Structure 1
């Protein structure tokens, strides 16, 4: 019953935020980086955040979530609030990075850090190294999720997939709470989007995925690679694009439209077609994780799939 209530809450809140944004002219205007062609309300991620934290608190008081995970996820309130103001006032990059660093530290503290990194042939168990790695990973996940929130339904469908995949593999009602929080928003965000997520939603989702990755890696070290595979569509595109831009000598802080999903839309694909293709790849990644027992072989197969996907995009629209 709680899941039905929460999906209605998310759906209704998104509707209210959409109407308020239109009334107050809080819209995302078209610019060189945009993949949309008309000014569209933003801030729909507020509905995701409110619904998510209501559900999270419900799980806590009904003892359906581990306290360690609860407190780590609750730290996400900070990134949500600051990102809300960033959507309104465009905060400085330095302030955003400071806040991201703070929530990364607090999230790691709540989790007790990252215990080890399993590399197959050996494990790294030096806590200084593992926690420095985890710190930067959280910051990278926050930012890359924000980078990949650029076309209708893309960021929302990725979060819905990861939630359902997480529930199927690990159980945990927190995944269902996140799924329904995103679903209510996604109904309004599907092509053509009536409202965008904004930083308030994308940064929170990136933070949540990072926390899930670390939390489940601490339960079983190979779980780290399960989350890396499941999140492959986003991190592979974001990381490879960053590398290519650096190699080209580009200013990395400068806005661009060179991510794979952006180049597909430039090649003539509709937003819906791109999102459906990403869902198909995600399903294949889940199948790889589910059926390939050796997680490192699964990782190699997933990298091959992801590289083949980027190769296909390059043929449709070259990286320039």
Structure 2
């Protein structure tokens, strides 16, 4: 019953936020990074965050979530609040980075740190090194998810996929809460978007993925690579694009439209087609994880697949 309540709440909240944003002219500004040509209300992420944290508290009060995971995810509230003001006032990049860094540190402490990183042929167990890795991973996941929230349904469908995949592989009511929190918003964002989630939603989702990765990697160190495969589309696209822009001596802090999903859109693919292509690719990535027991073989195959996809995008639209 709680999931139905949260789904309806997310749906209705998004609807009211959309209407309020239209009334107050709170629309996303069209700029050089935009993949849209029509001003559209933003702030739908408020509905995602609200229902997510309500559901999170419910799970905690009913003992359906471990305390360390609850507190680590709860830290994401800070990211949502700061991102809410960033959507309105456009806070400086320096302030955002400071807040993200603080949240990363508190999140790592709440989750209990990162125990070890298993690379197959050697394992890093030094807590200083692993927690430094954890810090940069959290900050990067927050930002890359924000970077890849650029077309209709893309960021929302990724969150739904990761949550369903996480539930099927690991169980956990927190995944179901996130699914319904995002689905209520996604109804208004998928296809011909009536509203965008904004930074308040995308940064929270990126943070959640990072915490899930750390939490399950602590349960079993090889779970790290499962999450890397499942998050492969976003992680691969954002990281490769960043490195390529750096190699080209571009200003990496400047807005751009060079991510693979943006270039597919520029090649003539609609938002709907790009998002559905990503959903299909995600299903393939999940199948690789599910059916191949050797995680490093699965990692290799998934990376070959993603490289081939990148080549395909390159043929459609050059970098």
Give the aligned length: 319
Q: CA deviation at 1:29?
A: 2.3
Provide the residue aligned with 2:234 in structure 1: 234
Secondary structure class of the residue paired with 1:64: coil
Query: Aligned equivalents of 1:67 and 1:292: distance in 2?
Result: 32
Provide the residue aligned with 2:190 in structure 1: 190
Q: CA deviation at 1:196?
A: 0.2
Provide the residue aligned with 2:204 in structure 1: 204
Secondary structure class of the residue paired with 2:179: helix
Query: Aligned equivalents of 1:308 and 1:66: distance in 2?
Result: 39
Provide the residue aligned with 2:270 in structure 1: 270
Q: CA deviation at 1:33?
A: 1.2
Provide the residue aligned with 1:59 in structure 2: 59
Provide the residue aligned with 2:121 in structure 1: 121
Provide the residue aligned with 2:22 in structure 1: 22
Provide the residue aligned with 2:221 in structure 1: 221
Contact 1:10–1:47, Cα closer than 8 Å, also in 2: yes
Q: Which runs of 4+ in 1 moved over 3 A?
A: none
Query: Aligned equivalents of 1:71 and 1:300: distance in 2?
Result: 34
Query: Aligned equivalents of 1:251 and 1:294: distance in 2?
Result: 40
Query: Aligned equivalents of 1:312 and 1:182: distance in 2?
Result: 30
Structure-to-structure mapping, 1:240-259, within 5 angstroms: 240-259=240-259
- Structure 2 residue 34 is the aligned partner of structure 1 residue 34: yes
Provide the residue aligned with 2:298 in structure 1: 298
Q: CA deviation at 1:32?
A: 1.5
What CA deviation, in whole Å up to 9, does each residue of 1:197-225 have, x standing for no partner?
10000000000000000000000000000
Q: CA deviation at 1:264?
A: 0.4
Q: CA deviation at 1:37?
A: 1.1
Query: Aligned equivalents of 2:26 and 2:67: distance in 1?
Result: 37
Query: Aligned equivalents of 1:29 and 1:227: distance in 2?
Result: 33
Contact 1:29–1:38, Cα closer than 8 Å, also in 2: no
TM-score by length of 1: 0.99
Gapped regions of structure 1 (runs ≥ 5): none
Structure-to-structure mapping, 1:147-166, within 5 angstroms: 147-166=147-166
Query: Aligned equivalents of 1:190 and 1:128: distance in 2?
Result: 42
- Structure 2 residue 53 is the aligned partner of structure 1 residue 80: no
Secondary structure class of the residue paired with 1:144: helix
What CA deviation, in whole Å up to 9, does each residue of 1:168-198 have, x standing for no partner?
0000000000000000000000121000010
Query: Aligned equivalents of 2:122 and 2:190: distance in 1?
Result: 44
What CA deviation, in whole Å up to 9, does each residue of 1:261-294 have, x standing for no partner?
0000000000010000000110000000001001
RMSD over equivalenced CA pairs, Å: 0.5
Query: Aligned equivalents of 1:12 and 1:288: distance in 2?
Result: 36
TM-score by length of 2: 1.00
Secondary structure class of the residue paired with 1:152: coil
Query: Aligned equivalents of 1:311 and 1:66: distance in 2?
Result: 42
